[in-house]
Structure 1
């Protein structure tokens, strides 16, 4: 009896525990009769209290639910029997049922080993409401995000810029329509492709250092040239901005590219204006130089005329030698000034920097006051860089004239060249890529500048000069040129201590320079390649120049036939098989210039060698489609050694 009481007490305790569970609970035996339950079942499902008796069959519960519409409208008995049939299978099951009052009940049944099953009932109404609300929110957010993406795509596709996002790899993850079309892709096809495949291996090799620098967390700007399908060169200016996390990791880089062709043309116009301003400053000094040269020529010519043939060969040579040197010096000055003043579009070339310094110093020495000394610290080794030499000369001349203005009482301007390796820290300060650089230093002993002025000197139109004496564009153009060349500029100055300006440009090994041949003394005729009486056709419209050139060519061992004009020269070349070569001026009056003449002769006589000559420093005088000359060109006045080599080459053709 005591044992029964103990068991009943345990059952009552278990029942009390089950009644406190916030789920409904029931146990049916293998006959589908109620064995156990808890209070939560009746509170959750509103069953009649009369069913809360052990042995109540499952059918009674199903009938109550069916009759009050829990399973929807239709055949009551059929609904009950179908559910009894499934219950007798005693298989695990889970389903959710929405009651007529909107309550959502989750039913989970598990079979028992001796038959029957235990079932739990959970009210998941609030959970499902929250889930639906969350789903609606997600749907709304997705729709809003899609709309935002559509707007973003609409905006990025219609702004006049190329926009992209590159992930590590580097792989494209986004590109606007203009960017994709620029590289022959679609917005869909470019996504996920490696950068090298999209932009091409050659261009990728050029841009790869900039991309790598950006992935290391640095903002990068650079320019590159690319041909459009119509063959036109387009200059692009790109900026890479790293997409970084708070802890410093780079997730990718944003790319913004702009067509800078028109801007480059405007910059070229400004640069030409600066060149012409500098030419105006140079011409005074050059006029002084030319007056000195003319004095040498006139003095020796007067001396020769007075001697009336009485001079010994040694004395005659003593008179002629300075005259030859004066004419050569005049020719050099003219060519330098013309080349500098005409300029060219941005034309990067591999050039020795010492040659640029020498050219600039030669131009400046005759143009600056005698109280200002131009000094050059020659480098110990040859240093080369890939830059536009004309723009570099313009930049250095601008800096020299600024230095001149700061030295009213005279002083020194010193040029120097050094090589150095810039590490990542220093490169980040200068805004360049790490690597080998050449540093051109321009130092003056002038009045210097205060800190406020130093910080503003690269601003366009900022000038400390009086109105009308300076445009304020000189130093801003120097700054722009350094940026275009992948370099940087650094200024150190203080009041009364002068100014030091450093121009950093990427350095190349001296081995990249083409081997220069040794130039012989232009006045030494002993080693000249002489002719053997070959007949040459000389085409020159200026009679006086033609006679001098003809005599110079005869002195080199050739026979000369003079042509009055291009038409006459063409007739002679066709008629006389004895003609071995043609020397023609490029610019001549009439419908046919020297280049057209040369091409017509070449069509008729492939056995004739041809060389052209000109007094111009470049080919701006020709039409754009004529500038690919295809023939050797001599620049007037011609030195004997240069002329001799050219003539030897054409008769050997």
Structure 2
């Protein structure tokens, strides 16, 4: 009796615990009769209490639901029968039922090992309502996001720029229409593709360091060039902005690229304008220099014509030597002036700055008033920098003429080259990295400038000169060139005390040369010929006679052709011929480059060289800059001619 009371107490305790569960609970035996339940059964499902008792059959519960319409309209008895048959299978089951009042009940049944099953009833109404609300919200936001993406696509596709997003990999995740078109893709096909596959391996190898630097969290700007489908060159200016999290991780990079071709062309036009302006300013001085050279030539020629035979070699040399030096100086001056005025686009190269200053001094000689004294000071001839030498000369000439204009009553212009070292504060003030720099100082003793003028000095179109006498672009171009070369420029001035411009360029030191720069080879050092037969093609009789003498003095035999037709026949008919030296531009005839190519096709054994008196012979011949033969610029010295002939004939010896 005592054990029965203890068991009943335990059952009552278990029932009390089940009644506190928020879910409904039932246990039916293998005959589908109710064995256990909790209060949630009739609280959640509104079951009549008279049927919620031990031994009630499952059919009573199903009938209550069916008669209340919880299974929908139709045959009640059929609905009951079908549910009883499924229950007798004692299989695991789960379903959700929506009651007529809108309540959603989840029913989960699990079979027992001895038969029967345990069923859990859960009210999931609020959960399903939250889920439906969430799904509606997701759908609404998806539509809004799609609309935003459509608007973003519409905006980015109509911006005159190339826009993209690159994820780590690097892989493209987004590109606007212009960006995709630029690399031959669609906005759909470019997404998900690796960057090397999109831009090409060659271009990617150039861009990869910039991309890697951006993924390290740095904003990067750079320029690159690429051929358009029509063969023209486009210059692009790109900026990479890292997409970073608050903890410093880089998720990707935004890409903005702009077509800078027109700007590049405009910049080149401005540079050329400044260069030609400087050439114009040089004209007076150059005319003075050339008149002096002509005076030397004319005077010595007249003196030679008055000499009576016999004439000693010493007397002859005393007249010829100044003439030879005058022609060499005139040729050098013309070559420097033409190279300066053409301003051919060349890649930056390591240049000895002493040579640049020497060239500038040669161009400025005679172009400055006699009241202006020019001094050049070079501390070390081995100081160099990676620059475009022509632009460097343009910059120095612009500064020199500004100095000249600042000294109307005369004074001293001093250009000095030295090495310096900038500490961090000095470098930060100039906007460069600290370290060693080549320093070029251009100083004058002129009128100087006030502080307000110095602040505006490098602004485009700012000038203190009278209208029509200055473009206001000279100093801005100098500033831009220095920045482009990785350097800087500063100015120090005061009214009445003169002005000093200081140019800073990243320092490079050249290896020391065996001899002094510009030292000419001795005549005995020329490599002489051994009587080889050469064909000279030149339509000007006087030039032909002069070059024939040079060739014969170098030990070669010469056969002269005055026309391209004669040259073609002789080159093809004379097997003993060893080389051809032809003028490029021959009026009214086939040009020398075309002749040389025709001969080379049929006589691969011949050494061929060309010569021209035109500075820009390539444009006259219509063949661009492509030339596979050595080209001598007229007039040329014996050592230049000897070296060229050795170059084309040595492999044939």
CA contact (8 A) 1:354 1:417 kept: no
Structure 1 residues 113 and 509, CA gap change in structure 2 (3 angstroms): farther
**Secondary structure in 2 matching 1:95:** strand
Distance 1:332 1:108 in 2: 102
Distance 1:107 1:317 in 2: 123
Aligned to 1:414: 415
**Alignment map for 1:439-458 (pairs within 5 Å):** 439=438, 441-445=440-444, 456-458=456-458
Q: In structure 2, which of residues 632, 635, 639 is the aligned counterpart of residue 641 of structure 1?
A: 639
Distance 2:646 2:117 in 1: 114
How far the C-alpha of 1:334 sits from its partner, in A, is 0.5
Aligned to 1:611: 609
Distance 2:377 2:311 in 1: 42
Which shifted more, 234-243 or 554-563? 554-563
Unaligned regions of 5+ residues in structure 2, if any?
none
| Residue 218 of structure 2 is aligned to residue 222 of structure 1 | no
**Alignment map for 1:191-590 (pairs within 5 Å):** 191-228=191-228, 231-309=231-309, 312-349=312-349, 351-369=351-369, 371-379=372-380, 381=382, 383=384, 385=386, 387-406=387-406, 410-416=411-417, 418=419, 439=438, 441-445=440-444, 456-481=456-481, 487-493=486-492, 495=494, 498-504=499-505, 521=520, 524-571=522-569, 573=571, 580-590=578-588
Distance 1:79 1:608 in 2: 109
**TM-score w.r.t. structure 2 length?**
0.83
How far the C-alpha of 1:613 sits from its partner, in A, is 1.6
Distance 1:84 1:451 in 2: 104
Considering Cα pairs closer than 8 Å and 6+ residues apart, tell me whether 1 or 2 has the greater RCO.
Answer: 1
**Secondary structure in 2 matching 1:634:** strand
TM-align CA RMSD: 4.3
Distance 2:557 2:9 in 1: 141
Distance 2:520 2:381 in 1: 25
Q: How many residues align?
A: 645
**Secondary structure in 2 matching 1:174:** strand
Aligned to 1:165: 165
Distance 1:267 1:516 in 2: 40
How far the C-alpha of 1:240 sits from its partner, in A, is 1.7
How far the C-alpha of 1:134 sits from its partner, in A, is 1.1
Structure 1 residues 504 and 108, CA gap change in structure 2 (3 angstroms): farther
Task: Spell out, residue by residue over 1:167-195, the C-alpha distance to the aligned partner (whole angstroms, 9 max, x if none).
Answer: 23333333344444544555455444443
How far the C-alpha of 1:165 sits from its partner, in A, is 1.9
Distance 2:515 2:156 in 1: 52
**Secondary structure in 1 matching 2:288:** helix
Structure 1 residues 574 and 41, CA gap change in structure 2 (3 angstroms): closer
Distance 1:277 1:93 in 2: 95
Distance 1:525 1:16 in 2: 124
How far the C-alpha of 1:131 sits from its partner, in A, is 1.2
Distance 1:350 1:296 in 2: 37
Distance 1:189 1:333 in 2: 58
Task: Spell out, residue by residue over 1:143-168, the C-alpha distance to the aligned partner (whole angstroms, 9 max, x if none).
Answer: 33234334434554555543322223
CA contact (8 A) 1:531 1:556 kept: yes
Unaligned regions of 5+ residues in structure 1, if any?
none
**Secondary structure in 1 matching 2:524:** coil
Structure 1 residues 583 and 111, CA gap change in structure 2 (3 angstroms): closer
How far the C-alpha of 1:135 sits from its partner, in A, is 0.5
**TM-score w.r.t. structure 1 length?**
0.83
